[in-house]
Amino acid sequence: MDGYQLFMAMLAVYLCGLIGIGWYFTKRQKTVTDFWLAGRKVGTIGVGFSSAASWLTAGGILAVIGFFMLLGMGSIWGFVAPNILALLIIAIFVKRIKHLPAITQAELLEQRYSSAIRAPVGIIITIVMILFAVADIKGFALVLQIFYGVDPIYAALIVALAVSVYVTLGGLHAVVWTDVIQFAFLSIFAIIMAFLAVDSVTSNVATISTASDLFSGVPGDWWNPFIIGIPMVLIFVFAIIPGWITEQDPWQKVWAAKDSTSARNGLVLGSLLVTIVFSACAVIAIALSALYPEIPAAGFPMGMAQAEPALLTYIVSTFSPAIIGLSAIGLAAASMSCADTFATSGASCVSRDIYQRFIRPDATMKQMLAINRLSVLFIVAAATVASFFIDGIIEAIHIATFIASASYFFPLMGGLYWKRATKEGALAGLIVGAVAQISFTIYDKVMTSPMAPPYLETVHPILMNHGVIVGMALSGIAFFGVSFMTRPSNIVNLAPFFKEAAEELASHEAQAVDEDSAEYKKFLKNVDEQITGERAHLHLRLEGSATVNWTRFVEQLKDSYAAWVTPTGIDSVYRLIQADMLACVSITRGEGEKEIWFASEPPVDSVEMQKRELFIAYKEVAAALEETGVILTMANND
């Protein structure tokens, strides 16, 4: 058995394990929330390991090692520091977003502004996620090309097929727990390679006999993260970090967490895990620089063509086929742990923000689960095709980040914290930022000669990174300027985000419930209750006497009771009486066209009160349905 056959055998065993995890979670996919957010029941370990794994692509790791070899610690601001800082910053505002029942950022923005912004944001996020997935596929293609001389198309197919199978089977449940395994593979690989690379230096370089000799021989400037100058550090920070703190996939990990504490601690854990792997990358870079001194001597950017694959070259020239195969598995884990997250995140926009919101808002849960899986296949296929047209790994990541930063940073973050933000301002910021950034990027790519610095960077340093800071500035000016010139948002849009607006909306008189009545006791027997972390999950699944005309029913419900609103379309209807929208009772279609599913996720200390609210919601829904000629029934359960 040659080296490639050995690798394929190892890969087959590894992929069977991942697919087995996906198969295990298949039966847990009952609702859209189960598929995209793992039922909102992920703990600290799952959030932490999955967040770390999602941002450590194989191509990114190889590029980071290359940058360390050529630029030292001064290179951390282009990729390393933004990874770590973004997770910590998101952890700070977990409480601000955790109570929102969104599945995607586009859905959140519709809650805050209007339906007009949902489709554009959903499309932009889909494009961004495809570009991120491209970087994963290209990184793995580079690994197989150097290790085994395999054509890039086969690497793309391996990632595409593997990710498609276990994600479509198990949804985010499968993504999270395969990420835990894949991060373990990746981190062990990186740490072992760091030790082995140092050992190779001390064994083969005559002037270096100990690890102490190796590290003491590193030039002092190499260790200085501010060697590029504070102005350049600030340019990188403002160019990259806004895009990463508004990147959708870590927000979805927050929404998937069982409570705020798990989400916050998980993100902090994720940043620590990322730091450990990047520290190993720095050690590897120092050792490889000693083994291949001609690479750092070539300087940046000329030496990057050799620096990026330097680790792969070292592995091929040093180790046995078995070790090479295990190394390939470790880097495959990095590729797939990122690709699965980006496929899930992008596909949720296609399914939730495009199909369910605008094409089939009355789709049943069974129909949506099928669309969810098709959407995953679409994202993976699009990324696979795009990988043959984009050359640079980090370049693909940065282009995606810059588009996100310039287009929806201000509408998203401004909407969370600024009550005066309006839908017109959000649309203006989105359109101006997206058009400006895409135009800057295309112009910069066209005007830049091969092996030359980016053209816009030579015009002025503020135009570094395809002019993203200017793109963001234009977006911000449009967002704030138009918001001030237009009418404030509707109170229904403000209530989930601002407590005083929710209190104003909920000023109606509370309804009393006779808890000793036979009807209420029968109702409670039909309520499914589960406690997860700080919250309870209350579910009620009922069936009508005939097919429910969903559009007509929702209109009747809203006309009859002012508390019922559709801030994100008629597929989900909320009884909005408080700022904590997760606790508010919501209704959706069930698996069939006769079913209606009720849900509420209140804090544990208010479960009994929320059961009464659920009963009131049931009575109102039953009355509205009766007006449409449908009788809602409960099981006897005696």
71-89 pLDDT tens trace:
999 999 988 999 899 999 9
**Alpha-carbon gap, residue 160 to 320, rounded angstroms:** 28
The CA R_g of the chain, rounded to the nearest whole Å, is 26
Confidence of residue 508 (pLDDT cuts 50, 70, 90): low
Residue 542's CATH number:
3.30.1400
- What is the residue-wise DSSP string for 491-525? HHHHTTT-HHHHHHHT-SPPPP--TTSHHHHHHHH
Taking residue 480's Cβ as centre, other Cβ atoms within 10 Å add up to 18
Token pair, residue 166, equals 């276990």
Confidence at residue 626, expressed as pLDDT on a 0 to 100 scale = 94
Whole-number Å distance between alpha carbons of 420 and 235: 29
- In a domain, residue 345? The reply is yes
Q: What Cα–Cα distance (Å) separates residue 626 from each residue in 211, 544, 546, 620?
A: 79, 10, 11, 10
In a domain, 352, yes or no: yes
* Residue ranges making up the domain that contains 613: 518-633
Q: How far apart are CA 589 and CA 573, in angstroms?
A: 10
What angle do helix axes 58-71 and 393-417 make, rounded to 10 degrees?
A: 100
Residue 505: pLDDT band with limits 50, 70, 90: low
Structure tokens at 15: 């992929």
Residues 6+ apart with CB under 8 A from 233: 77, 225, 226
Stronger pLDDT, 524 or 638, i.e. the higher one: 524
Q: What is the mean pLDDT of the chain?
A: 89
Highest mean pLDDT among 100-109, 276-285, 577-586: 276-285
**Residue 601 tokens, joined:** 């996720």
CA distances from 145 to 142, 163, 353 (A): 5, 20, 38
389 versus 452: the higher-pLDDT residue is 452
pLDDT at residue 529 greater than cutoff 50: yes
* Residue at a domain's end among 370, 393, 416: 393
In a shared domain, residues 147 and 285: yes
Here the CATH number for the domain that contains residue 239 is: 1.20.1730.10
Q: Do you find a cis peptide bond into 296, omega within 30 degrees of 0? A: no
Per-residue pLDDT at 107: 93
Residue 19 lies in a domain: yes
* Residue whose C-alpha is closest to residue 205's, from 292, 274, 79, 127: 292
In a domain, 623, yes or no: yes
Q: What per-residue confidence (pLDDT) applies to 533?
A: 83
By residue count, the chain amounts to: 638
Residues in CB range of 475: below 8 A, 6 or more apart: 406, 407, 409, 410, 429, 430, 432, 433, 436
What CA–CA distance (Å, rounded) separates 590 from 596? 5
Question: pLDDT at position 311, please?
Answer: 94
Percent of the chain scored above 90 by pLDDT? 49
Query: Maximum distance among all alpha carbons in the chain?
Result: 89
Amino acid (1-letter code) at residue 528:
D
Cα torsion through 221, 223, 229, 231, rounded to 10: 170
Residue 142 domain flag: yes
Tokens of 294: 């001609």
What pLDDT does residue 638 have? 47
Give tens-digit pLDDT for 309-336: 999 999 999 999 989 998 988 888 888 8
- pTM (predicted TM-score): 0.87
Kindly give, in sequence order, each residue whose CB lies less than 8 Å from that of residue 500, ignoring residues fewer than 6 positions away: none
Give the residue-averaged pLDDT of 542-565: 93
Asked whether residue 94 is domain-assigned, the answer is yes
Where is average pLDDT lowest: 422-426, 529-533, 625-629?
529-533
What local confidence, expressed as pLDDT, does residue 507 receive?
52
Average pLDDT on 360-389 reads 86
The more confident residue out of 151 and 396 is: 151
Domain boundary among 393, 418, 446: 393
d(CA 245, CA 451) in angstroms, rounded, equals 31
Closest CA to 337 of 3, 21, 560: 21
pLDDT of amino acid 99: 84
Q: Is residue 42 part of a domain?
A: yes
Q: Residue 108 has what pLDDT?
A: 93
Instruction: Identify the burial level of 232 via C-beta atoms within 10 angstroms of its C-beta, where 0-12 means exposed, 13-18 middle and 19 or more buried.
Output: middle
CA–CA gap between residue 266 and residue 90 (Å, rounded): 11
pLDDT at 632 over 50: yes
Tokens 């995953």 sit on residue: 376
Q: Tell me the mean pLDDT in the region 277-305.
A: 93
Q: How confident is the model at residue 383 (pLDDT cuts 50, 70, 90)?
A: confident
Per the structure, the count of domains in the chain is 2
In Å, what is the CA distance from 127 to each residue of 123, 142, 403, 487?
6, 23, 9, 31
Give the range among 115-129, 145-159, 205-219, 350-364 with minimum mean pLDDT. 145-159
Which DSSP state fits 349? I
In degrees, rounded to 5, the angle at the alpha carbon of residue 299 between the alpha carbons of residues 298 and 304 is 85
* Angstrom distance (rounded) from CA 59 to CA 66: 11
Q: Provide the pLDDT for residue 424.
A: 96
Between CA 617 and CA 638 the distance in angstroms is: 23
What residues contact 305, with CB distance under 8 A and at least 6 apart? none
Query: In terms of domains, do 526 and 389 share one?
Result: no
E strand residue ranges, 136-243 = none
Return the closest-CA partner of residue 339 out of 577, 167, 98, 221. Answer: 167
Q: Give the residue with greater pLDDT, 505 vs 281.
A: 281
CA distance 458 to 448: 10
Amino acid at residue number 163: V
Flag whether 25 is in a domain: yes
Burial 8-31 (b: 16+ CB within 10 A, else e): bebbeebbeebbebbeebeebbbb
Percent of the residues in the chain that have a pLDDT greater than 70, as a whole number? 97
In the chain, count of helices (H) and strands (E)?
27, 7
Phi, psi of 514 (to 5 degrees): -85, 100
pLDDT reported for residue 26 = 84
Distance from C-alpha of 162 to C-alpha of 184, rounded to nearest angstrom:
18
Nearest Cα neighbor of 80 from 97, 101, 56 is 56
Give CA–CA dist 467/457, Å, rounded: 8
Final residue belonging to a domain, choices 393, 409, 442: 393
Q: How far, in Å, CA of 2 to CA of 5, rounded?
A: 5
CA-closest candidate to residue 394, choices 151, 136, 142: 136
With 80 as the cut, is the pLDDT of residue 624 above it? Answer: yes
Pairing mode of beta strands 573-575, 585-589: antiparallel
Q: What is the mean pLDDT of residues 402-409?
A: 88
How far CA 2 is from CA of 11, 15, 149, 322, 324, in Å, comes to 14, 20, 13, 10, 12
For Cα atoms 594, 349, 185, give the angle at the middle one, nearest 5 degrees. 110
Mean pLDDT in residue range 29-38: 84
Spatial separation of the C-alpha atoms in residues 430 and 475, rounded to whole Å:
7
